[in-house]
Amino acid sequence: MDPQPNTQKNQKIGLPPMKLYLMDMDETTKHKSSQIQSHPASPSWPFRMPVIGTNGSGKTNILGNLFLGTKAECICKSKKGPKGTSYGSRYIACDDLIVCGYHPDESKWAFVRYMYGIISKDPKAPYYENIRFNYILPEKIPSVRAFSP
């Protein structure tokens, strides 16, 4: 059996390989950034993304990385991102992030909320984006039966 990198083995015909940038948010100082400007496999807007998995499977790490990308690292280290970008970029550049879950005090979501606050605080900052973060407990979601057709 010929070992192949996952980017080649799992690649769909006609799509370029995508570098997977994963940062273990518990060990943020041990990684090197990579930059993805855009990719044909990105979801088209608008989209919703339910994420389901067992405890400890890395759901929050993957989502945190998608929503923060290299921007958090570049802001924290006060350095500009790769050539042509300013202070990194977010892989999923949504303007309104709504997270629904049972653990609003989880430290990883607190970090994402904190970084969204920094990014959206000062319109004169070079890394500024008009973005919002909201966390909703499942009990607060209205029943679909409450909506009339």
Give the pLDDT score at 15.
Answer: 59
Quickly count: other Cβ atoms within 10 Å of residue 103's Cβ. Answer: 11
CA 80/CA 43 separation, integer angstroms: 27
In a domain, 74, yes or no: yes
Residue pLDDT, tens place only, 96-137: 888 888 888 888 888 889 988 988 898 888 888 888 888 888
Instruction: Examine residue 8 and state whether it is found in any structural domain, yes or no.
Output: no
Q: Judge whether 41 lies within some domain.
A: no
Residue at token pair 């958090």: 72
DSSP line for the chain: -----HHHHTPPTT----------GGGGGG---------TTSPPSS--------TTSSHHHHHHHHHHTTHHHHHHTT---STT-SS---SS--SEEEEE-S-TT-HHHHHHHHHHHHHHH-TTSTT----EEEEE-GGGSPPGGGS--
Greater pLDDT, 4 or 34: 4
Global pTM exceeds 0.75:
no
Name the token pair of 58.
Answer: 């890395």
Position 42 scores a pLDDT of 60
What is the number of domains present in the chain? Answer: 1
Residue 146 lies in a domain: no
75 within a domain of the structure (yes/no): yes
52 inside domain: no
Task: Quote the domain boundaries for residue 117.
Answer: 58-138
Look at 20 and 65; give whichever has higher pLDDT: 65
> Does residue 133 sit within a domain?
yes
pLDDT, tens digit, 9 for 90 and up, residues 26-60: 554 443 333 333 455 566 666 677 778 888 888 88
Fill in the amino acid letter for 123.
P
Question: Rounded to an integer, what distance in angstroms lies between the CA atom of residue 10 and that of residue 12?
Answer: 6
Q: Is residue 148 in some structural domain?
A: no
Both tokens of 79, joined, read 């350095």
